[in-house]
A = this chain, B = another copy of it.
């Protein structure tokens, strides 16, 4: 049996081990159309080849970078059609970067507010005197930006 056939014979657990993507997640990706349906063994079990390993690695990398599944679908479409312009790939990445930056900004303002709140009370006193409870009860004390 040559290397190609070994690759062809790869069951889902091996694909999972190779890519670090859980078995259930691989089946989920197939279900939502990110990963093409592989061949099956006589007993109806999935058998993957080299192309699947590469595609799943691409998907995992993009997910690790936080791309939403729809974005990944679009990136895969570009990857599948090498003649297309990569303007769209650039746009998807920039949009995602933008999204990430917005999330960072929002979380930083939350961080500041939570620091302030947590610092006002170090525990021990009863809840009726607790500054955390009071602050949450009275929005007017709060410098937090409304979103």
Please state if B90 and A118 are interface contacts (CB–CB under 8 Å): yes
Query: Taking the full assembly, how many copies of this chain does it contain?
Result: 2
Secondary structure call for the A interface = helix
Name the interface size band of chain A: 35 or more
Assuming the contacts A78-B133, A107-B104, asked whether A118 and B97 have C-beta atoms less than 8 A apart, the reply is yes
Known: A83-B128, A86-B123, A86-B127. A65 touches B114 (CB 8 A): yes
- Chain A residues with CB under 8 Å of chain B are 20, 54, 57-58, 60-62, 64-66, 75, 78-79, 81-87, 89-91, 93-94, 96-97, 100-101, 103-104, 107-108, 110-111, 113-115, 117-118, 121-130, 132-133, 136-137, 139, 142, 144, 146-147
